[in-house]
A and B are shown apart, each in its own frame.
Chain A
Amino acid sequence: MEEKEIHDELTAIRGLMERSSKFISLSGLSGILAGVYALIGAGIAFKLISDFHSFTETLYNKLVPNEQITTSPVFLSVHSDYTNLTKQLFIIALIVLILSITTAFILSRRQAKRKGQALWGKISQSLLFHMATPLITGGLLVLIFVSRGYYGIIAPCSLIFYGLSLVSAGNFTFNMVKYLGLFEILLGLIAACFPGYGLLFWAFGFGVLHIIYGSMMYLKYDR
């Protein structure tokens, strides 16, 4: 055996050990795009919320002094608009989520083909299972709290549970995913200390952090 042959053999072994135990078909590009979607979504949400605030302000200024607030037509119109706003924000979040998942799926499929790894196999299944457990738990918890009126919990809770799901998914893919998860958890805890800035933290965690992580992945593994 020549030295080069042994070298090739060792490289092949290392590659096989990685390919058999880790899902290496994640694409950095999908991280970048998910971040961009999140930032656009947060921008639209911010616009809607500030529009709503200026709208209510002008309405409240028209309130007749000493009028019973809860029965005034102004209050009722604001109230129905508020439910409308929540609905719109929910739809924006849903669109961002669906776009991100679809992008990740399409780009991973392309990457899997290039790297000779099965998209739907033993490893991707464990990856999805370990990611879905904290993610679905967190998602349901947020929905339960929202239905009870605790809107302040959305940003910290979704960041923390998303971070937990990334840390556990990190065992089945690039280590970098784990670090992204730790940062998301940290950000979620900080967001919990600063109520009222939820959208800002949300945009930073799902937007900026994704773009940073995606670019690092892209430069390191995609090419």
Chain B
Amino acid sequence: MKISFDKLDKAFESRVRLQIMSVLAANDRYDFNSLKELLDITDGNLASHLKALEKEEYITVHKSFLGRKPNTNYEATLKGKTAFKEHLNTLEQLIKQQKTK
């Protein structure tokens, strides 16, 4: 079967979004600040990518307070995890395909 690049999930075209999904696939929940520190990007940049993933329904947001500070946690949905797994599978198959060429 020929696999083309079209099969790759458009939502993961941005590197940051793929990174966010990798973190959320490995952890139950992750909070905004830890995510920011880990990926080493700005607030605005991270927030816009999170919003995009939320719009795709790949992640859900949990808002709470730690004392007076707002604490926002993110969790990958089943849909998001499946999409992430498929994206990785496609990447792997692309490698195999290029090797057999």
Q: Is chain B's interface secondary structure helix, strand, loop, or mixed overall?
A: helix
How many chain B residues touch A (CB < 8 A): the figure is 21
Q: Which residue of B lies closest to A125 (CB)?
A: B34
Q: Is the CB of B37 within 8 A of A121?
A: yes
Q: Is chain A's interface secondary structure helix, strand, loop, or mixed overall?
A: helix
Chain A residues within 8 Å of B30, by CB: 20, 122
Chain A contacts with B in 80-133, Cβ cutoff 8 A: 118, 121-122
Q: Is the CB of B26 within 8 A of A18?
A: yes
Chain A contacts with B in 1-20, Cβ cutoff 8 A: 1, 3, 6-7, 9-10, 12-13, 16-20
How many chain A residues touch B (CB < 8 A): the figure is 17
**Per a CB cutoff under 8 Å, which of B18, B27, B88 touches A21?**
B27
In the complex where A10-B88, A17-B22 touch, is A3 in contact with B95 (Cβ < 8 A)?
yes
A-B contact pairs, 22 of them (CB 8 A): A1-B5, A1-B94, A3-B94, A3-B99, A6-B91, A6-B94, A9-B15, A9-B18, A9-B91, A10-B91, A10-B92, A13-B19, A13-B88, A16-B19, A16-B22, A16-B23, A17-B22, A17-B25, A19-B38, A21-B23, A21-B27, A118-B38
Interface residues of B (CB under 8 A from A): 5, 15, 18-19, 22-23, 25-27, 30-31, 34, 37-38, 88, 91-92, 94-95, 98-99
Interface residues of A (CB under 8 A from B): 1, 3, 6-7, 9-10, 12-13, 16-21, 118, 121-122
